[in-house]
Amino acid sequence: MNFLPPWKDKALFTPGPLTTSATVKQAMLRDLGSRDNEFIAVIKDVRQRLVRLGTNSDEYTAVLIQGSGTYGIESTLSSVIPPDGKLLILINGAYGHRMLKIAGIHRILTESLIFTEDMQPDVSALESALKNDPAISHVAVVHCETTTGIINPIDVYGEIVKRYHRTYIVDAMSSFGAYPVDLKACGIDYLVSSSNKCIEGVPGFSFVLARTDSLMAARGFARTLSLDLFAQWEGLEGDGQFRFTPPTHAILAFRQALLELEQEGGVSARGKRYHENYEIALSAMQAMGFKPYLDKSLRGYIITSFYYPEHPNFKFKEFYERLSDKGHVIYPGKLTHADCFRMGHIGRLGPGDVASLMAAVAETLNEMDIHMLVKVEE
């Protein structure tokens, strides 16, 4: 079966929103009332399928939150940490810093361990912090930091967090659906992701996979009304409905995306396709002289950061626009100390699409009179 139907839009080599299948788009061509029995059944089915993607345990539940992934992160951080709690955040990129900003806005007592963007947060530093500060009640980390594409070892961190009996929050925005994650084995209490990432839905909502006992213990901790994670879960469990107007069309598209993930062969099969996209792009980019930012051992297959070429004719804006004119959209860099751009490997894309992008890059370099003669080796 061909899982990569054609489309007419530009191919999005970004970390999301992504290129989606025609059938996911078609699923949005229905108008369902937010309180219709049929739509309530869709919500229930989506929640059950999400939990099964993350665990075989019946200890977890799924909560859908209107808004982008950041809404899901803010909902979790502002809802589950008690007034006298303390949050420790492991930071090695922009999205870890965003969690720190969210915690500050909600006046949550917070400690942070900050590392460079090309380095995984140190395991011993985490253990030392938990050992020496009993006030820390919660630990948060990003799985795939899309600032660079680095993959952080959430299983290793989880083992330490559980050993010290703290609550563990994982931002798996750009990894869930493409990297196998066992919530219980990793000791995760709350995992947050979004509809428009590796499950290949459209933007509109985020979701939290929560250990039910942990969520129930957080009742009354919420610092907002609309982002109250417990109240949202309580409503979904009670009558199956959102408390406030849900993104009906996005949820219909997401259910179709979940079905297509299963048809493709599940998380492992999707991850394999993304990994193949990554390998093709990396090999071709290096052959053209581009250098990846991260060491090979740290790179994931979600998104790759490349240094700007050291050539006087290279201007990223022009490079980006020429590729876009050829039907390929890449992503600007987000690093604080290096000039980089990024290429995503996820979404409804396959090897042929990546090959087309690589041909467009080569053509664009020629148009910009940029000639890089040295092949960059691993």
| CATH topology match: 22-262 vs 266-367 | no
CA angle (180, 64, 256) in 5-degree steps: 65
So what CATH class is 266-367? alpha beta
Per residue in 233-287, pLDDT (tens digit) is 999 999 999 999 999 999 999 999 999 999 999 999 999 999 999 999 999 999 9
Domain boundaries, the chain: 22-262, 266-367
Residue 349, classed as helix, strand or coil, is: coil
- The CB-side HSE value for 325 (13 A sphere, CA atoms) comes to 9
**Alpha helices in the chain, H assignment, sequence order:** 22-26, 37-54, 69-80, 94-105, 123-132, 154-163, 212-217, 229-238, 248-264, 266-287, 316-325, 351-367
Tokens of 11: 């191919």
Measured between alpha carbons, how far is 259 from 190 in angstroms, rounded to an integer? 24
- Specify the DSSP class assigned to residue 299: B
Q: Is the pTM of this model over 0.85?
A: yes
So what CATH class is 22-262? alpha beta
Per residue in 129-184, pLDDT (tens digit) is 999 999 999 999 999 999 999 999 999 999 999 999 999 999 999 999 999 999 99
Report whether the peptide linkage leading into residue 246 is cis, meaning its omega lies within 30 degrees of zero. Answer: no
Per residue in 25-83, pLDDT (tens digit) is 999 999 999 999 999 999 999 999 999 999 999 999 999 999 999 999 999 999 999 99
Listed residue (359, 305, 300) closest to 328, CA to CA: 359
Per residue in 311-334, pLDDT (tens digit) is 999 999 999 999 999 999 999 987
Contact between residue 210 and residue 190 where contact means Cβ atoms under 8 Å apart: yes
